[in-house]
Structure 1
Amino acid sequence: MTVPLTVAMCSNRPALLHAAIDRLRALLGPEDHLLVIVDTAVRADTTRRLVQAATDQQITALFNGRTIGLSYSRNLALKEAATQHILFVDDDIVPTLATVDRIRAALGNGVHVAGTRITADFQGHPTPWYLTDGQLHYLGSHHPGLPASIWGGCFALDRDHARLLSVGFNERLGRIGACLSSAEDTTLVRQLLGLGASGTVLDDAEVRHLIPVTRLRLGYLLRRAYWQGRSEVRRNTTRRGLRKEWSRNRSGGSGPRATALALLYTAAVLVGETGQLLRQATGSPA
């Protein structure tokens, strides 16, 4: 059984869109559709080029007109998808045709949600001393020595089954512009599986995540860890989330450098959790 897919890409980075559209267009089967949702105000020339790309009957471009957020955009994609099954791919993910075919086959066999292994591609930049495999999840990439799980950079779901279960992306989570809130993807997956949906991780099916050098800076990584802490509170997993982050950070090695980095990043998570708890206690904006 060949399963038609809506490939959905939600992006607030217009500079990446055209290369990403070309990558994804090459993966479409005859019954597939590419849905591009632009979550930012864009210049007239960018809009014009996207509209021109969308003259292809397999491509639709939607514009939020301003930055509303990744979760909002993904919920819009669920609503506007032309097919029952939808594959979410970030604008910096490089899938292969073989991986898309594996996802398609899993969905055709009745799986409700499917993910892949996401491998960090530093694009020739050296790995900084303050980054171990234990921090790769802050870059949306899996630890190469541990089992993968379903993450939002590349995952597919049965949209109709999610609707039946009344499950969507939590709009208090997910990135909004420069805000690095997260966990809207794993929260949705956890809800689906908890309600009886079937899921699979194609651990040996790999996609590359193109990591820009700006995300290899210590300041970015610590900010990402801080926002991980805030996200854990927002989804009511404060204690469990802190233990999870400590375990992840400790998976980077056993030497003194790896241990010191695990303490540093987990402390950033704790600061984020504390800040979010104080905001909630004082009624400040989340």
Structure 2
Amino acid sequence: MAELSISAIICTHNRDQYLGAAIDSLLAQTLGDIEIIVVDNASTDMTAEVVQQRLSDPRLRYVYEPVLGLSSARNTGAKTAKGDILAYLDDDAVASNQWLAALLKIYLNNPKVAIAGGKVTLLWPPGVSQPPLWLSQDLASGLGAYDLGSQVRYIQNPSLTPRGLNYSLRKTFLDSVGGFDLNLGRVGNNLLSNEELHMTQVAIKRGWQVMYVPDALAAHNVAPARLKPGWFLSRSWWQGVSECYREQVSGCAGISQLRWGGERLVRGVYKTVKYANKPAQRFENLTYAYGQLGYISSVLRYLVKPPAKPPSTKPNKPAKSSAA
């Protein structure tokens, strides 16, 4: 069995209050021969100082990336890394001490695995012991929660793809697709997403495998600002924008996107009214409907001014999406 090396990468932007714990969780890994890279993505807080305090450990490296954007930072981390496997941990997450070992084992045992990610639990902010009444279990997954059970399983449905906060790829696969798409992934305060879903679609289409690894456990800190309805509405809007772009790069751009978005908008509004007396279901469907407005607005912008070169010419059925 060929030996593989692994690099852990934290891409960070103005999260100095959480970053130290994330780095420390990587320094405490049971796997010995690892590389840890912190990519400082144009931070203006104390990020550099937080990393500096730990640079006496030879496993840790610091890289500054001035171009703002998560995908840009991830690509910089990948280019810097020496490992065969790239394991990405969010700057506000904490990895269990066997996180890297569990991920590496999957790649060692199966050369066809391109992507693997683990279970994610939530760490509520001080004074909060449970989610608010208006927050459904499905919406809570938007905070990073991810649990497909206690057994390793193949991911064949892209909507079940591993969370980006606990995420790994085989470097040869990432290189073969040209890295992360710079048009997807968070940039500053916007909440663009879907880069992992898109990557899973590409991997499966090319004959690779995507895995869920429950032992690769990480916990995600829920910032107090994310327990406000406005954050979920904003996230849903950007989710709609992201989904529109993902369809376009899959070759699905066109007037039919307006029909899809319109149908989903009507369904979301209908269910918002239907569950008027059930706070969690009502708000979940309201955010769903609001996300369709983001989707439709993005479609209209594309139709008014399409790109000079379409990203793809091959048709591909869009991922199904439905309200609760």
Cα displacement (A) at 1:280:
2.0
Give the match for residue 201 of structure 2: 190
Give the match for residue 216 of structure 1: 227
**Distance in 2 (alpha carbons) for counterparts of 1:256 and 1:145:** 28
Please tell me whether the aligned partners of residues 40 and 47 of structure 2 are also in contact (alpha carbons under 8 angstroms): no
Amino acid at match of 1:166: V
The number of equivalent residue pairs is 274
* Aligned residue runs from structure 1 range 155-170, under 5 A: 155-163=167-175, 165-170=176-181
Amino acid at match of 2:292: L
1:80 to 2:115 alignment: no
Please tell me whether the aligned partners of residues 9 and 77 of structure 2 are also in contact (alpha carbons under 8 angstroms): yes
Q: 2:245 aligns with which of 234, 254, 269?
A: 234
Amino acid at match of 2:32: P
Give the match for residue 114 of structure 1: 116
Q: Deviations over 1:157-216 (max 9, x none)?
A: 1102332x3342111010001011111122112212221112211246532111011101
Q: Aligned Cα RMSD in Å?
A: 3.0
**Distance in 2 (alpha carbons) for counterparts of 1:275 and 1:265:** 15
Question: SS state of the match for residue 53, structure 1?
Answer: coil
* Aligned residue runs from structure 1 range 12-91, under 5 A: 12-15=13-16, 16-27=18-29, 29-42=31-44, 46-65=47-66, 68-91=68-91
Please tell me whether the aligned partners of residues 75 and 180 of structure 2 are also in contact (alpha carbons under 8 angstroms): yes
Q: After TM superposition, which residue ranges in structure 1, 4 or more long, deviate above 6 angstroms?
A: 143-147
Please tell me whether the aligned partners of residues 14 and 46 of structure 1 are also in contact (alpha carbons under 8 angstroms): yes
Percent sequence identity is 25
Structure 1, unmatched stretches of 5+, are none
Give the match for residue 142 of structure 1: 146
**Distance in 1 (alpha carbons) for counterparts of 2:80 and 2:278:** 50
Please tell me whether the aligned partners of residues 120 and 136 of structure 1 are also in contact (alpha carbons under 8 angstroms): no
**Distance in 2 (alpha carbons) for counterparts of 1:159 and 1:145:** 27
Give the match for residue 137 of structure 2: 133
Q: 2:183 aligns with which of 172, 190, 201?
A: 172
Structure 2, unmatched stretches of 5+, are 154-159, 249-256, 308-324
**Distance in 2 (alpha carbons) for counterparts of 1:56 and 1:211:** 28
Amino acid at match of 2:162: I
Q: TM-score, normalised by structure 1?
A: 0.84
**Distance in 2 (alpha carbons) for counterparts of 1:52 and 1:214:** 28
Over 3 Å counting, the alpha-carbon distance change for 1:262 and 1:214 in structure 2 is closer
Over 3 Å counting, the alpha-carbon distance change for 1:265 and 1:11 in structure 2 is same
Please tell me whether the aligned partners of residues 99 and 217 of structure 2 are also in contact (alpha carbons under 8 angstroms): yes
Question: SS state of the match for residue 37, structure 1?
Answer: strand
Give the match for residue 207 of structure 1: 218
Cα displacement (A) at 1:117:
1.7
Amino acid at match of 2:48: T
Amino acid at match of 2:37: L
Give the match for residue 298 of structure 2: 276
Please tell me whether the aligned partners of residues 113 and 155 of structure 1 are also in contact (alpha carbons under 8 angstroms): yes
Q: TM-score, normalised by structure 2?
A: 0.75
Q: Deviations over 1:74-112 (max 9, x none)?
A: 111111111111111101222212333221210111232
Question: SS state of the match for residue 236, structure 1?
Answer: helix
Q: Which one has a bigger Cα radius of gyration? A: 2
**Distance in 2 (alpha carbons) for counterparts of 1:145 and 1:257:** 28
Please tell me whether the aligned partners of residues 133 and 143 of structure 1 are also in contact (alpha carbons under 8 angstroms): no
